[in-house]
Amino acid sequence: MRVFVTGASGWIGSAVVPELLGAGHEVLGLARSAASAVAVAAAGAQVLRGGLHDLDVLRSGAASSDGVIHLAFIHDFASFEASVRTDALAIETMGAAIEDSGKPLVIASGTAAVPGIVATESDESVSGSPVAARLENARAALGMAARGVRSSVVGLPRTVHGDGDRHGFIARMIGVARETGVSGYVCDGASRWPAVHVLDAAHLFRLAVEGAPAGSRLNAVGDEGVPTRAIAEVIGRHLNLPVASVPAESFGFLGSILAIDQPASAARTAELLGWRPTQPGLLEDLDKGHYFA
């Protein structure tokens, strides 16, 4: 299978590309910059230059491939609504390019945030949650199943961790701890975060593009819910810093996310595709020390 991957040089894409190649697939990777093109080529994939605003490029990449994995997203929290609109146009463009073909379109989204319950693949985020803004895009992708596209959505948890993560929420928590001299958590630290190792997430994306049924929702969840205080305690131990409750604004935009209890389950995903996480959980991965090098 020839798979078109957007975000091919990103944190998750850099794991998905070798996962696909290792399973015998060909990869066409979207690369916005020269540096990204070099990284994609070095991984063994073919390169297609362009970004999410280049709709003709997206159309060409999807049409010339046997399936699409859409990972790219413009993480501009100052203009998040604009980023969501750009994502919607990209999804529609690639989906239309493979309409009536039965080809797979797998998009990355977020696990549902429903405080107080362990969210399943069938749950949707409550209004105002960190991932609710992208919900319509996920619905649109799933709706393409009625247009002859084998579409599926992979819900990613708040933390996709692993060696090499330099820009995710865990890296941000560590950065704030170093800046302030306190490894902090919000409120009482009881809010739970789902998490998954990047290699386990990459494996699920491959399984999805290979065989997820049309219109299926999947969750890439290894840890159903790690208390944020437990995360702060590991960070504090490694940095030799005190651990304490701090105001949410200490974390900037991340503070409001830290305060939300949002555990999630992947039980239905495991049943549907046989996916089982095999990599270390979040706290074990943190204790390996690579985040603090």
What pLDDT is recorded for position 75?
75
Low-confidence ranges of the chain (pLDDT < 50): none
Q: Which fold has domain 161-194+223-264+278-292?
A: UDP-galactose 4-epimerase; domain 1 (3.90.25)
What does the alpha-carbon distance between residue 237 and residue 239 come to, in Å, rounded to a whole number?
Answer: 6
> How do residues 155-211 score in pLDDT, each as one tens digit?
999 999 999 999 899 999 999 999 999 999 999 999 999 999 999 999 999 999 999
Q: CATH 3.40.50.720 residue ranges in the chain?
A: 2-159+196-219
> How do residues 112-131 score in pLDDT, each as one tens digit?
888 889 999 998 876 655 56
What pLDDT is recorded for position 132?
64
Task: Note the helical H segments in 119-266.
Answer: 135-143, 169-180, 198-211, 228-239, 254-258
How far, rounded to the nearest angstrom, does the alpha carbon of residue 220 sit from its chain's CA centroid?
8
Q: CATH 3.90.25 residue ranges in the chain?
A: 161-194+223-264+278-292
Q: What is the CATH code for 2-159+196-219?
A: 3.40.50.720
What pLDDT is recorded for position 79?
78
Question: Which tokens hold the place of 126?
Answer: 């409550």
Task: Note the helical H segments in 2-79.
Answer: 13-22, 34-42, 55-63
What does the alpha-carbon distance between residue 177 and residue 240 come to, in Å, rounded to a whole number?
Answer: 10
What pLDDT is recorded for position 126?
65
What pLDDT is recorded for position 125?
74
What pLDDT is recorded for position 131?
60
Give me the chain's average pLDDT, please.
94
What pLDDT is recorded for position 128?
59
What pLDDT is recorded for position 130?
53
